[in-house]
């Protein structure tokens, strides 16, 4: 499960945050932890260089893209390898939307499009329901549904 996706500037100000399954009282802790983690490790990092942190069964993959730091937090089946794929999709979409070079201003000017891309990449799921025709055939119908936070 993906627990959180955060975008912050290099000063540590949160630009976008999305939490799923994280109680409200723990969100402040996650914000401060991720920003501190980024300020310690992302100074001098190359664009899209991935960093990984873990504690017990929770993984954090984070990177910097221009003036924007991106953090993805997951657990269970979303280990560091799966989160690396998620962050790759997010950075690709943000680069397409904001154009190069990515600055905080470009990011904020295209805030709505970035939020839309983020919701499509991370918070959309595909659920399937089946209709049994006979003992050997089941027809599956795909239905996209939005996860409610």
- The string of pLDDT tens digits covering residues 30-89 is 999 999 999 889 988 999 999 999 988 899 999 999 999 999 999 988 999 999 999 999
Six-digit token pair at 43?
């100074």
> How high is the pLDDT of residue 8?
95
What's 91's domain CATH number?
A: 3.30.450.60
Domain that holds residue 18: 2-146
**Residue 128 three-state SS:** strand
| Residue with more model confidence, 149 or 9 | 9
Q: What is the mean pLDDT of residues 18-41?
A: 92
Q: How many domains does the chain fold into?
A: 1
| Residue with more model confidence, 142 or 1 | 1
Give the helix ranges, DSSP H, for the chain.
24-41, 80-98, 104-109, 111-122
Please name the residue that has the structure tokens 């899209």. Answer: 48
Q: What is the mean pLDDT of residues 96-110?
A: 88
CA dist 128 and 144 (Å) reads 9
Q: What is the mean pLDDT of residues 83-100?
A: 91
pLDDT tens readout for residues 126-142: 333 344 444 444 344 44
> How high is the pLDDT of residue 124?
64
| Residue with more model confidence, 124 or 99 | 99
């Amino acid at each position: 499960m993906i627990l959180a996706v955060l975008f912050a500037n290099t000063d540590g100000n949160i630009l976008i945050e999305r939490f799923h399954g994280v109680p409200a009282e723990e969100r402040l802790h996650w914000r401060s932890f991720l920003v501190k983690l980024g300020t310690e490790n992302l100074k001098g990092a190359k664009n899209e260089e991935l960093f990984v942190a873990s504690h017990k069964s929770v993984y954090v993959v984070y990177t910097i893209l221009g003036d924007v730091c991106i953090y993805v937090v997951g657990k269970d089946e979303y280990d560091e390898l799966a989160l690396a794929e998620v962050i790759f999709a997010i950075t690709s979409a943000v680069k397409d939307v904001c154009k190069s070079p990515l600055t905080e201003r470009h990011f904020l000017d295209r805030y709505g499009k970035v939020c839309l891309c983020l919701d499509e990449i991370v918070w959309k799921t595909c659920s399937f329901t089946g209709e049994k025709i006979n003992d050997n055939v089941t027809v599956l119908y795909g239905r996209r549904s939005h996860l409610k936070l």
